[in-house]
Amino acid sequence: MKNKEKILKWKRQYRVKNRDKINEYKHKRRRQESQFWHEGKLPNAANLAEKTIIGKVLPSLGFTDVFKPTKNLYFDALARKNGEIYAVEVTIHQRKTLKIYRRQFLEFFKLPLLVFFVKPDLTQCFLNEQNPMQYLTEYHYKQGERVQIC
């Protein structure tokens, strides 16, 4: 336990003394990750991703009664599976921030949330499923599991 405490103390001191170096490294890693994610981006990728998820992926995962609402609803689609209704959000970005009014909507209706992260070249898709009352404010594609795009 003493060695662990020494290491933690050293890390804290290092972070204080080398804050610029650490921030530079973080920014470099994020830029590299972003370049990988947006490599080969298709024009109109957001609409294509949404159509692919709603038309192919949701039915292949066993969802029925997929409903694409008007632009005024908070989510991209609603779908039913095993008698339960799910809210579906599709994004081509690596991160998705859920605004407070969307969380309140989900909590009020106790809807599970499905967040699909689709790579802008439509080669990869990641699904992050959240149960009611466990909603996060921000989601990242690495938190989800890979889903096959038909």
Structure confidence by residue, pLDDT tens digits, 5-63: 999 999 999 999 999 999 999 999 988 888 888 888 888 999 999 999 999 999 999 99
Q: Which of 41, 18, 128, 36 is nearest to 26 (CA)?
A: 18
Structure confidence by residue, pLDDT tens digits, 62-113: 998 898 887 778 899 999 999 999 999 999 999 888 888 888 888 899 999 9
The tally of domains found in the chain comes to: 2
The reply to whether 127 and 104 lie within a common domain is: yes
Alpha-helix residue ranges (DSSP H) falling in the chain: 2-17, 19-38, 45-52, 58-60, 100-109
- The whole domain housing 133 covers 45-147
The reply to whether 55 and 129 lie within a common domain is: yes
CATH number at residue 81: 3.40.1350.10
The reply to whether 18 and 92 lie within a common domain is: no
pTM for the whole thing? 0.80
The reply to whether 18 and 89 lie within a common domain is: no
